[in-house]
Amino acid sequence: MTLNYSTSALFTGSEWLNDVVVHIENDLVVGIDQKGFDANKAMPYIIPALIDLQLYGAGGRLLSEFPEKETIEKIYQFCINGGTGFFQPTIASQSMDIIYASINAVKAYKAAGGKGCIGLHLEGPWIHTSKKGAHDVSVIRVPELEEVASILAYGKDLISMITLAPEICTPEMIKLIQDAGIVVSAGHTNATYETAMQFFDAGIPVATHLFNAMSAFQHRAPGVVGALFDHPTAMSSVIADGYHVDYAAIRVAKKIMGDRLFCITDAVTETSTGLYQHTLVGDKYESAGTLSGSALTQLKSIQNLVEHVGIPFGEAIRMCSLYPAKVMQNKNISGTIAINKKANLLCLAADYTILISAFNN
């Protein structure tokens, strides 16, 4: 099958190209040029498919409450409606039974030909209770090596990221996780600046939701936030909804961190059962009056970055595509549009409305 998409502006992930046609054959990009360009049919923008490394559910089904492939199918539908082609379904701190059931759900989704799922993101339960955020303290725990090994064995090739507080885990545990090909992210952590720098120097590449549930930047105690600002390579996600983090704080962090800062949605869904219950209040979710999750899509993240933070459109796109891809180091996920790569792209109107989603993931 051959497809030709004319666009006034194509963002490849590295540069803007004006008045070009993207030629696609058998799901691959085979050309990017002006051959056949039709200004009357040209769409305003074509950008890479977006990537979301952290969201918990959709359509009234949290994965931790309904650990089934049907839940992941709903999450994927939510993702593609918001411009995301690749995603990590995520569960907050949970019991071993729920962790195993969530692994089974990812396995079943992939076995059924489900698209876009990078793997399971375990956010907890190995986190610091003083920085638990909305996590339920009853399931948070300091890990034992046997438990870590058991989860890794059961979730082989199905778990792709684990958020943990590195100060409560031994270096042996962290190495075991990384040797399994899983990205370790520092999050829900009360580490000092010095401890955080040591862990980032030792190879933890990323942190989870900058500012939220981590030791803050203070003038005599720079904390994990200060370590992320100061470290030359450590990356961090951030939630750009204006509630989890003030837009001015994102602006400051972006000036300091540059291409080390990227977006997640941290999106939840309305639920009234289980450990994690969320109620939609305006355009955010709350639990018992406390902020508990976002109602973001990654496309909305881009819009917020441009309109409220003042980040250029292309850089905002990178924060939701190229930079998350860099974190995952997955050869099948690039966050770019390039010849001889699979066509995973979005055609957008000037108001960020999706005209066409071409996801061949």
Give pLDDT tens digits for 121-150: 999 999 999 999 999 999 999 999 999 999
- Round to whole Å and give the CA distance between 264 and 255: 18
* Fold agreement between 2-47+338-358 and 50-328: no
Q: Token pair for residue 317?
A: 């796109």
Residues of the chain with pLDDT under 50: none
Residue 116's nearest CA partner among 84, 153, 78, 156 is 84
Residue boundaries of the structural domains of the chain: 2-47+338-358, 50-328
Q: What letters, b where the CB count within 10 A reaches 16 and e where it falls short, cover 232-250?
A: eebbbbbbbbbbbbebebb
Cβ atoms of residues 77 and 108 within 8 Å? no
Residue 297's nearest CA partner among 82, 96, 16 is 82
The sign of the dihedral angle between the CA atoms of 241, 295, 47, 327 is positive
CATH number for the region 50-328 comes to: 3.20.20.140
Task: Tell me the CB-side half-sphere exposure of residue 184, using CA atoms within 13 A.
Answer: 27
Would you give the distance in Å from CA 24 to the centre of its chain?
27
> Looking at the chain, how many residues does it have?
361
3-state helix, strand, coil split of the chain in percent (to 5) is 30, 30, 40
Residue 301's nearest CA partner among 318, 285, 279 is 318
Cβ atoms of residues 86 and 48 within 8 Å? no
pLDDT value at position 12? Answer: 98
What is the CA angle 327-248-329, rounded to 5?
Answer: 5
Residue 185's nearest CA partner among 138, 154, 224, 157 is 224
Question: Helix (H, G, I), strand (E, B), or coil: what is residue 327?
Answer: helix
Alpha-helical regions (H) of the chain: 69-81, 96-111, 145-154, 171-179, 193-201, 223-230, 247-257, 298-304, 313-319, 322-328
CB atoms within 10 A of CB 205: 18
pLDDT tens digits along 14-64: 999 999 999 999 999 999 999 999 999 999 999 999 999 999 999 999 999
Cβ atoms of residues 62 and 274 within 8 Å? yes
The answer for residues whose C-beta is within 8 angstroms of residue 173's C-beta and 6 or more apart is 143, 145, 148
Cβ atoms of residues 121 and 99 within 8 Å? no
pLDDT value at position 290? Answer: 84
Q: State the amino acid at position 57 in one-letter form.
A: G
Place of tokens 């930079």: 323
Would you please indicate which residues are annotated as catalytic (active-site) residues? 266
DSSP-derived letter for residue 307 is I
Superfamily assignment of 2-47+338-358 in CATH? Urease, subunit C, domain 1 (2.30.40.10)
Residue 292's nearest CA partner among 120, 165, 132 is 132
